[in-house]
């Protein structure tokens, strides 16, 4: 199974959340791309973020962003 375009949008949105502090969140504005608005709605429905338009990461969200960051880092490695 490969990543669907919706999953890619969700991963990209997750990677936009600040990770320095649990007191920082993200707000998806009405002028954001429809793909990002839809991704936020799906992440909210899955219990990954606290608000339909962003908010904070839930415990599940913190776990997922850690995995997403590792995946991004691993796939960014250059082979010589």
Q: Would you write out the chain's pLDDT as a tens digit for each of its 80 residues? A: 899 999 999 999 999 999 888 788 999 999 999 999 999 999 999 999 999 999 999 999 999 999 999 999 999 987 76
Residue pair 41/51 in contact (Cβ under 8 Å)? The answer is no
Predicted confidence at residue 27, as pLDDT, reads 95
**What local confidence, expressed as pLDDT, does residue 79 receive?**
74
Structure-token match 């599940």, residue found: 60
Structural domain range at position 9: 5-76
Q: How many domains does the chain have?
A: 1
SS3 content of the chain, % helix, strand, coil (to 5): 50, 10, 40
Which segments within 24-68 are labelled E, that is strand? 26-27, 49-51, 54-57
pLDDT at 80: 65
Q: What is the pLDDT of residue 77?
A: 85
Buried b / exposed e over 35-66, threshold 16 CB at 10 Å, is ebbbbbebbbeeebbeeeebbbbbeebeebbe
């Amino acid at each position: 199974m490969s990543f669907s375009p919706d999953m890619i949008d969700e991963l990209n949105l997750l990677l936009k959340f600040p990770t320095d502090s649990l007191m920082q969140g993200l707000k998806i504005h009405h002028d954001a791309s429809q793909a990002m608005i839809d991704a936020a709605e799906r992440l909210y429905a899955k219990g990954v973020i606290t608000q339909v338009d962003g908010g904070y990461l839930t415990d599940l969200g913190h776990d997922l962003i850690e995995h997403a960051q590792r995946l991004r880092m691993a796939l960014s490695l250059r082979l010589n």
